[in-house]
Amino acid sequence: MERIRFIVRARQDGDTLSEFLDTVRGDPDLDVIDTIGPPGQPHTAVLAVAPALADAFEQRIRTSPQLMIERDRPLSLLDKTASFLHRSERNSHG
């Protein structure tokens, strides 16, 4: 079953996110997909969570004073562009 992806960020500069990542590494229900930021001091991480635990994980991070979380959503620029082009094409024939 496909895991649910989240973006987790530190609310402030510092080691908060690194410390959090150290605690979740090795957890079989969580995968650290990627980190963004200087080596050893990431400010953003992409995590994948087992679907059965996703809601509880999201709520746990949401209530953290040090971290922020949002669900990772695929970019849909192509879909929006295609929709815009389709509307423009209809309007030009009007």
Domains and CATH numbers, the chain: 4-92 (3.30.70.80)
pTM over 0.95: no
Tell me which residue has tokens 């922020």: 68
Q: Is 3 helix (H, G, I), strand (E, B) or coil?
A: coil
- 46's enclosing H/E stretch is strand 44-49
Q: What does the block give as tokens for 76?
A: 């849909």
- CA–CA distance, 12 with 65 (Å, rounded to integer): 10
Helix (H, G, I), strand (E, B) or coil at 35: strand
Residues 29 and 37: their CA atoms lie apart, in Å, by: 24
pLDDT tens sequence across 1-38: 689 999 999 988 888 899 999 999 889 999 999 999 98
